[in-house]
Amino acid sequence: AQLVGSSLFDFFPPDLVVRRKAYLAQVLETCQPVHAVDVRDGRTFDNYIHPVFNMDGAIIRLAIFGQDITESKSAEQTLRASEEKFATVFHHSPDLIAIARLADGVFLDVNEAFAKLLGYPRTEVVGKS
């Protein structure tokens, strides 16, 4: 009941209202969707604003989609850090390390030590069986 008849901007802090009004103005001016990411109160929101047209091609509404992506952003950062650690160990290890597809034995990656043992540059080993 509190939302009915209220403005969307009644529920956002003033600095966010300014940004959101700019996004809406951009959609109205260009007739193109706008994608924006907002960070507020420690949360990250992924927003899409799309114009909705009538049969004559005039904008009659704006469709606004927002999603809290805080957890997925955090998971991405954790995964990226883990991948960087793995890559460092993989590529700098003096031990021979190779990653191959089980089905056909094609090398997906090998470290320098492995390539050196084979006597080929790493780039020539990856992709071969």
Instruction: Provide the pLDDT confidence category of residue 7 given band limits of 50, 70 and 90.
Output: confident
Could you give the CA distance from residue 115 to residue 45 in angstroms, rounded to a whole number? Answer: 45
Q: What is the pLDDT of residue 13?
A: 85
Q: Tell me the pLDDT tens digit for each residue of 11-23.
A: 888 888 998 899 9
Q: Tell me the pLDDT tens digit for each residue of 76-103.
A: 999 999 999 999 999 999 999 999 999 9
106 touches 128 (CB < 8 A): yes
Instruction: Provide the pLDDT confidence category of residue 107 given band limits of 50, 70 and 90.
Output: very high
Residues 121-125 have a mean pLDDT of 92
Q: Tell me the pLDDT tens digit for each residue of 29-54.
A: 999 999 999 888 899 999 999 999 99
Portion of the chain with pLDDT greater than 90, in percent: 79
Q: What is the pLDDT of residue 15?
A: 86
Q: What is the pLDDT of residue 121?
A: 93
Could you give the CA distance from residue 92 to residue 61 in angstroms, rounded to a whole number? Answer: 56
Could you give the CA distance from residue 33 to residue 120 in angstroms, rounded to a whole number? Answer: 50
3-state secondary structure of 66: strand
- Global pTM? 0.61
Token output for 81: 């850090």
